[in-house]
Homo-oligomer: A and B are copies of this chain.
Amino acid sequence: MSSNPPDWRQRLHLFLFDPHTPSGRLLEIFWIITTLTSVLTLFIESAEPHSVAVKLTEPSFFLLLEYIFTLLFTLEYLLRLYTSPRPLRYAVSFYGIIDLITTLPLYIFWLWPDIALRYMMALRLLRVLRLLRLIKLLRYMGSANVLWDSLVSARKKLFLFFGGVMILLCLFGGLMYVIEGPEHGFTSLPVSLYWAVVTMTTVGYGDITPHTPMGRMISSVLILLGYSLIAIPTGVMSSYMTDVMQRNRHRRRCSECKISGHDDDATFCKRCGGALEDKTNQAGIKPA
């Protein structure tokens, strides 16, 4: 059973991508650093906007780096595809699609070398495709944590809150559309809604501002509403997090003396020093 191909593939998968093996943990750090370097390079390259088109045709330091990154991420994609227990399922999964898309820009440029030279928009799009590599990082961030638990517990209240806020924004936007009108920048309902969002959330660009006394009064009301309404989601999150943290404290027990009440980040029992039970069993694939 241990010599048939699937098992060998599984071993390679554990070796390369399982964060519970030493090699997997090291490679995880390698991929995080590679991804961050790749995105950083993209930012530096993009900071010199005048010579962008040239940069992809003429040999340059940035092009060399992009060759290396594309090679590495293509290798990663093929290895993940090959070692995955269900290759097709990986290929159509969220991370599978992201892994594929973020290797494409250079290949697209090879196939249609003129596209980036002709259409500036296409060049910008190819760049942003490379930016999506950041999403690969989410894989390593873990999702079973207090932040996520609190958000999920509070989803109904937060949804209700945002429903109410959206209605308020539409009504105030509409009111200002009537009062200020196109002559003061409120040219249409969507523009007025954009103004309401920018105002109520205290962003305040200043590209559209009220000019009539009535408009300024209504703006002030909307602003004070936004200033105080922020207390509601904050209060919701605070109370849910306090709640989730207290529950976590009671959920974990010492495997030796069976007492609970340990801190969220404790690994050993505070009374007898025994190991604490794991919060979630993240074992994944069982050893063969």
Contact = CB atoms under 8 A, between A and B. Distances in A.
A145 B131 contact: no
Contacts of A121: 178, 181
Contact of A161 (B43, B147, B213, B245): B147
Contact of A203 (B132, B150, B177, B202): B202
A118 interface: no
Interface stretch (A11-19, A61-69, A75-83, A192-200): A192-200
Contacts of A194: 216-217, 219-220
Interface in A84-122: 120-121
Contact of A189 (B42, B217, B233): B42
A134 interface: yes
A182 B201 CA distance: 26
Contacts of A230: 227, 230-231, 234
A136 B195 CA distance: 23
Interface string A166-208: 0100110011011001100001111101100111011111110
Contact of A232 (B147, B174, B235, B265): B147
A49 B237 contact: no
Interface in A226-252: 226-228, 230-243, 245
Contacts of A42: 189
A167 B43 contact: no
Number of copies: 4
Interface range, A side: 35 or more
A135 interface: yes
A22 interface: no
Given A167-B134, A203-B204, A181 B124 contact: yes
26 contacts: A46-B189, A47-B189, A47-B213, A49-B187, A127-B174, A127-B189, A128-B178, A131-B170, A141-B160, A141-B163, A141-B164, A145-B160, A147-B236, A190-B216, A201-B224, A202-B202, A203-B204, A226-B227, A230-B230, A231-B233, A231-B236, A235-B236, A235-B240, A235-B241, A238-B239, A243-B245
Given A47-B189, A197-B224, A230-B234, 18 more contacts: A39-B170, A43-B190, A46-B188, A47-B190, A49-B182, A49-B187, A127-B174, A128-B177, A150-B235, A162-B228, A190-B217, A194-B216, A201-B224, A203-B203, A226-B227, A231-B233, A238-B242, A239-B245
